[in-house]
Structure 1
Amino acid sequence: MGVSSLRRGLALLLVLLALPVVAGAETLRVGVTGGPHAAILEQVAALAAREGLTIKVVEFDDYQLPNAALAQGDLDANSFQHQPFLDEQIRAHGYPLAVIGRTVVFPIGLYSKRIRSLDALGRGDKVAIPADPTNGGRVLLLLEAQGLIRLRPGVGIAATPFDVIDNPRGLKLVELPAAQLPRALDDVAVAAINSNYALEVGLVPHRDALVLESADSPYANVIAVRAAERDRPALAQLVRFYHAPEIRRFITEHYGASVVPAW
């Protein structure tokens, strides 16, 4: 190799070494449930792609699967659950997961095709609630706040139907997987539906719910990762892109008060 060629080679090497290392060298597989979680993350992925980070959105139709997939290494992160649900999953399954950022709040609501007010609930009417522990307790607290039932004192979010100590209308509490609750509206008087699933079937929570949790609900959704990788630079990039002004604007313009940014 001649001197001039050697100089050109060294110059090219120096240029390459000076180039910034971007997160785009990696592809992140991020699990979500369908509806707004998926739609928002698609926007995040598009924003991240402009700076070289590839985000592959992986959809699930069940709340139990994304954490298992993350724990066993099939995902790099997930974005579908609130903090109390994640805490319960960690207690129940020992998943080595951690939170790296907050996303949105989906206020849970009570919906009906049969009645226009909870005052119209009859004796023995069926009320469908989520079968998972944290969202089930969340709905029981909402029913208690509406004066429909009374729970054992101090039980809080851990409440189950067995903790109902007063049920003056004899309401029948039917536990179903959260994703099935919109379809249950034809068979029950009232169904408690998370806003992400309500929006997926064309319901507008702040318009159609008989009762809706307030927007300051403590059930903010989170981005979860394996605890051992919580400091991975590409995952910090994921949070940065999710928290971008463009994503907040997309959420507000597309979902109004039905989905609330939590950062």
Structure 2
Amino acid sequence: MKALAKAGIKAGILGLALAAGLIPAASAETIKVGVTPGPHAQILEKVKDEAAKKGLDIKVMEFSDYVVPNAALASGDLQANSFQHQPYLDNQIKDRGYKIVPVGLTVNFPIGIYSQKFKSFDAIPAGASIGIPNDPTNGGRVLLLLADKGIIKLKDGVGVKASVVDVVENPKKLKFVEIDAAQLPRSLPDLAAAGINTNYAKEAGLDPVKDPILREDPKGPYVNIIAVRAEDKDKPWVKTFVETYQSPETKAFILETFKGAVLPSW
């Protein structure tokens, strides 16, 4: 009887520990999710904590560029990623044939143009060098921002696929220098200005709300997404992951932590 009583006590303690999350439940599902450093990683850490309460164990995998997370997802090294907007994914699918699909909206990072030398874009002299990301979608995004502000004019109808060759009017004869997105903050001293994605701006100590001399309208096609392999899109863990990301708790965390630099977009 004593042995049975001890066994019952041990079982009760184990059950309480499982309920409290002190011991991982055997039924918990584990997924690896790729992100870029900065806000995407910070948000996912919050999502990870909430998802654990629902039996989903998220391993946060950080990547320093925009290319590897999709390659890793397509190869099966990741189960999902959360770092890119739809135009970028569309371009990757076109170029590489990935069978990757979006399953949920996440956040928007209005891109900004920064300068260490000039306090306004009007002050930038003719012929100055402007850094833009060297990937097609983010480079085009900066060009669209400049076109929206009347600084350049693009060919009609180019939309999110805009590139330097689509610039048809450039009154200031600006020189566009294409640089890896992650390297643009380091290149600022050598440029008049540069269009820098919010996550890389924050990593470099820039304030994405106060520091840009030009800033993108947050309403646009560049809302970020959660992406998975097409074959996985209907799996139960996908629904749990997306619902946890799009929860009131995550939204409150984003608004409090980033104070307008990153915007919930679901």
Q: Secondary structure at the match of 2:140?
A: helix
Match in the other structure for 2:19: none
Which amino acid counterpart does residue 113 of structure 1 have in structure 2? Q
Match in the other structure for 2:236: 233
User: Shift in Å at residue 218 of structure 1?
Assistant: 2.1
Q: Secondary structure at the match of 2:156?
A: coil
Unaligned runs of 5+ in 1: 1-21
Match in the other structure for 2:157: 154
Structure 1 segments (4+ residues) deviating >2 Å:
22-25
Match in the other structure for 1:76: 79
1:159-195 CA distances to partner (integer Å, 9 max, x unpaired)? 1111112211111100011111111111101110111
Q: Does 1:200 align with 2:203?
A: yes
Which amino acid counterpart does residue 43 of structure 1 have in structure 2? K
Report the Cα distance in structure 1 between the residues aligned to 2:203 and 2:109, rounded to whole angstroms: 12
Q: Secondary structure at the match of 2:210?
A: helix
Q: Secondary structure at the match of 1:223?
A: strand
| Superposition map of 1:1-263 within 5 A | 25-263=28-266
Q: Secondary structure at the match of 1:218?
A: coil
Which amino acid counterpart does residue 181 of structure 1 have in structure 2? L
Unaligned runs of 5+ in 2: 1-24
Report the Cα distance in structure 2 between the residues aligned to 1:155 and 1:221, rounded to whole angstroms: 21
Which amino acid counterpart does residue 192 of structure 1 have in structure 2? G
With normalisation by structure 1, the TM-score equals: 0.89
Report the Cα distance in structure 2 between the residues aligned to 1:128 and 1:94, rounded to whole angstroms: 29
Are the counterparts in 2 of residues 29 and 56 from structure 1 also a CA contact under 8 Å? yes
Report the Cα distance in structure 1 between the residues aligned to 2:83 and 2:159, rounded to whole angstroms: 22
1:67-99 CA distances to partner (integer Å, 9 max, x unpaired)? 010001000000000011111111111100111
Q: Secondary structure at the match of 2:194?
A: strand
With normalisation by structure 2, the TM-score equals: 0.88
Report the Cα distance in structure 1 between the residues aligned to 2:108 and 2:233, rounded to whole angstroms: 22
Report the Cα distance in structure 1 between the residues aligned to 2:176 and 2:218, rounded to whole angstroms: 25
1:184-240 CA distances to partner (integer Å, 9 max, x unpaired)? 111101110111111122211111111111222221000000001101111111111
Q: Secondary structure at the match of 1:257?
A: coil
Which amino acid counterpart does residue 164 of structure 1 have in structure 2? V
Report the Cα distance in structure 2 between the residues aligned to 1:49 and 1:202, rounded to whole angstroms: 31
Report the Cα distance in structure 2 between the residues aligned to 1:229 and 1:145, rounded to whole angstroms: 38
User: Shift in Å at residue 51 of structure 1?
Assistant: 2.7
Name which of structure 1's ranges 197-206 and 226-235 shifts more when overlaid on structure 2: 197-206
Are the counterparts in 2 of residues 107 and 217 from structure 1 also a CA contact under 8 Å? no
Which amino acid counterpart does residue 78 of structure 1 have in structure 2? N
Q: Secondary structure at the match of 1:207?
A: coil
Change (3 A) 1:226 1:114: same
Identity of aligned residues (%): 55
Report the Cα distance in structure 2 between the residues aligned to 1:132 and 1:23, rounded to whole angstroms: 42
Match in the other structure for 1:11: none
How many residues get paired?
Answer: 243
